[in-house]
Structure 1
Amino acid sequence: MSPKIRNIIGWVLTAVLAFIFISSAYMKLAGGAKAIESATGLGISADAFRMLGVVEIVSLILFIIPRTGLLGTLLLAAYLGGAIATHLEHHQSIMAPVIIQCVLWITATIRFPELSRRLMGTPDSYIRQ
């Protein structure tokens, strides 16, 4: 795959993830009655729920910026891990956070070739960019 196509795919997937996380964070920050009720049902206070929205936005910003993208990837992966654990604890489906987690890692390996090299254990001399 040419570097130009790889770059385009990486940024399209980044935009999809940005839409998902911004929508989720907006719901948490807006704090509608239904959202707060849902959070309370999971044992999360309204203040903690809003803080999760802030964490999502900060992590997403770090992910979008190329220089801090790897840090953002790790923070979003950790956030989604917590979401998966919370869903499991409350006997809810984990499919949505698992799928988002997979798309996150696919996007990160496309956008950050150094991450792909580390994960695959490929020496730098064998990777063409």
Structure 2
Amino acid sequence: METSISQPALTKKPLNKVHLAGKIISGLCIVFLLLDALMKAIKDPRSMEGSVQLGWPAEFVQAIGIVLLVSTVLYLIPRTAVLGAILLTGYLGGAIAIMVRAGQPLYFALVFGILVWAGLYLRDEKLRSLIPFRKD
């Protein structure tokens, strides 16, 4: 009598290249945004100085960091990633407005906003079906 031990079927699909690219792009965005948020939330002197130079009152920098932290954590969690991306879009839109007002280059916040959505688009099949890109 031969006994075979069967492995339980995995419920997760293997990562395809598109999904993996989305995870990498999102991961890079998350690392940077978490670092920025934490530096603002703990009132790191370099972050405080840079924010004040852009025109933010020093007493609001920590609150801005907490908003960014919450938005980034929501983006990190798959079930709330779209809400997080929407909140990050608002945050980065504000960053663009501040940069324009301060006469600074705005491309960094703009590119980051694009990368946040690109990463989510590539890793979320439902979002890709909602906003399809066609060759027609």
Query: Would you say same fold, with TM above 0.5?
Result: yes
Give the match for residue 114 of structure 2. Answer: 102
Alignment partner, residue 80 of structure 1: 92
Which of 34, 39, 53 aligns to 2:46? It is 34
2:6 aligned residue: none
Instruction: Name which of 28, 32, 44 aligns with 1:16.
Output: 28
Contact 2:41 2:65 in 1 (8 A): yes
When Rg is computed on C-alpha atoms for both structures, the one with the higher figure is 2
- Partner letter of residue 52 of structure 2? T
Is the 2:55–2:102 Cα contact (8 Å) retained in structure 1?
Answer: no
What TM-score comes out, normalization by structure 2 length? 0.78
- C-alpha deviation, 1:3, in angstroms: 5.4
Distance, in Å, in 2 between the alignment partners of 1:8 and 1:33 is: 36
Comparing 3-12 with 88-97, which one deviates more in the overlay?
Answer: 3-12
Superposed, 1:66-77 pairs within 5 Å as 66-77=78-89
Distance 1:34 1:5, change over 3 A: closer
Task: State whether residues 41 and 62 of structure 2, in contact with CA within 8 Å, keep that contact through their aligned partners in structure 1.
Answer: yes
Q: Secondary structure at the match of 2:104?
A: coil
Runs of 4+ in 1 over 4 A off after TM superposition: none
Give 1:66 deviation, angstroms. 0.7
- Comparing 18-27 with 29-38, greater Cα deviation is found at 29-38
Unaligned runs of 5+ in 2: 1-13
- Name the aligned partner's letter for residue 38 of structure 2: Y
State whether structure 2 residue 64 is matched by structure 1 residue 52. Answer: yes
Task: Name the structure with the higher helix share.
Answer: 1
Percent identity of paired positions between Structure 1 and Structure 2: 26
- 2-side partners of 1:49 and 1:28: how far apart? 6
